[in-house]
Amino acid sequence: MSHVLTLIADPRTMPLTDAIVSRVRDAVRGTSTDILSPGEAVDIFCADRPDGHDIAAALERAPIDAIATKARGRRKALLVADMDSTIVTTETIDELAAYAGLKDKVAAITKRSMEGELDFAQALRERVAMLKSVPLTDLAKTWERVTFSPGARELVATMRAHNATTALVSGGFTYFTGRVAEALGFHVHRANVLLDDGVALTGEVGEPILDREAKLATLLELAAARNLKIAGTLAVGDGANDLAMVREAGLGVAYKAKPVVAREARAEIVHTSLRALLFAQGYRAAQIVGG
């Protein structure tokens, strides 16, 4: 079989049933199935790449994610992940702005930037300028409120345990990526640098700004460092600045993403967690570290 269709559900809300699996298998003309996690994830093996319209019709709007991959080379040796609204649940710049009473204004710009309506670098400079004089203690307060997306810890730990390189690459700030990387075990983290005078932010960001092209360049650089073909890579993100790396990666995934990303990514997670990225690579529940 040349392709695998992985169905992933949240068993707490709507577990996968035999009826759902059978309906989808018939719709995509699948052959055998393999349960990766009872009620949560199953592989359906197909002779050809399954059609997305057939999958959607068979699912009948059920809150189940479906990711199709080639059967060969499912396991990826490089993970490149966005941070804000992907590995962590919020946009950290918006949360930082809240301490200056500017969350709504900053969040509005963030939203337009992530939807691809604004130039990323220009929008970042504009938002950082609004944070001038914010005390550095507010960075620590913001970090204390950061929460990780469900499945983030398991994703990084499991891929590391299977000798993959894991990289956190963000259009956000190194203050946060460094802490997230340490907490979750990413090998590499890259982001923008907030400038300060030792007491407060200056309203400036270090140049050059890490934008969508820099994210793509990081994917290619890290793949080359491991002598990997691009097919051996996985990239995940939610915003327009993630689109270049998501398009290029062997498995590029839109995670609860803005429409501009969801439309162009080859795979999408809408209903479940980042554990779905492990199931899409063929990992079984028993193989998930920390699961």
- The model's pLDDT over 260-289, given as tens digits with 9 standing for 90+, comes to 999 999 999 999 999 999 999 999 999 999
Which amino acid appears at position 276 of this protein?
Answer: A
Q: Is residue 40 part of a domain?
A: yes
Instruction: Note if 82 is an active site residue.
Output: yes
Q: Is residue 88 part of a domain?
A: no
Task: Give the pLDDT of residue 267.
Answer: 96
Q: Is residue 12 part of a domain?
A: yes
Evaluate whether 8 touches 279 at the Cβ level (below 8 Å). yes
Compute the residue count for the chain: 291
Q: Among residues of the chain, what percentage have pLDDT more than 70? A: 99
Task: Give the pLDDT of residue 231.
Answer: 97
How far are the Cα atoms of 27, 233, 257 from residue 62, in angstroms, in the given order? 15, 29, 19
SS3 content of the chain, % helix, strand, coil (to 5): 40, 25, 35
Computed over every residue of the chain, the mean pLDDT equals 97
Q: Mind listing the pLDDT tens digit for each residue in 201-251? A: 999 999 999 999 999 999 999 999 999 999 999 999 999 999 999 999 999
Sheet order of strands, 41-46 included: 30-37, 41-46, 3-8, 65-70
Work out the pLDDT band at 95, boundaries 50, 70, 90: very high
Which among 10, 43, 84, 242 is annotated as catalytic?
Answer: 84
Q: Is residue 200 predicted with pLDDT exceeding 80?
A: yes
Determine the structural domain holding residue 9 and report its residue range. 1-72
Q: Is residue 9 part of a domain?
A: yes
Q: Is residue 166 part of a domain?
A: no
Q: Mind listing the pLDDT tens digit for each residue in 101-144? A: 999 999 999 999 999 999 999 999 999 999 999 999 999 999 99
Q: In terms of Cα–Cα distance, which of 250, 273, 237, 253 is closest to 116?
A: 237
Give the rounded distance of the alpha carbon of 160 from its chain centre. Answer: 16
Q: Is residue 128 part of a domain?
A: no
pTM for this model (two decimals): 0.96
Count of domains for the chain: 1
Q: Is residue 22 part of a domain?
A: yes
Q: In terms of Cα–Cα distance, which of 184, 151, 148, 144 is closest to 167?
A: 184
Q: What is the DSSP string of 24-65?
A: HHHHTTEEEEEEEETTTEEEEEESSPPPHHHHHHHHTT-S-E
Q: Is residue 10 part of a domain?
A: yes
> Where does residue 15 rank: exposed (0-12), middle (13-18), buried (19+ CB within 10 A)?
middle
Task: Give the pLDDT of residue 114.
Answer: 96
Task: Give the pLDDT of residue 290.
Answer: 85
Q: In terms of Cα–Cα distance, which of 140, 137, 129 is closest to 202?
A: 129
Q: Among residues of the chain, what percentage have pLDDT more than 90? A: 99
Query: What are the tokens at 227?
Result: 């002598």
Task: Give the pLDDT of residue 165.
Answer: 98
Angle between helices 103-114 and 120-129 (to 10 degrees): 170
Task: Give the pLDDT of residue 291.
Answer: 57
Could you tell me the CATH number of the domain that includes residue 24? 3.30.70
Instruction: Note if 84 is an active site residue.
Output: yes
Which among 10, 82, 94, 238 is annotated as catalytic?
Answer: 82
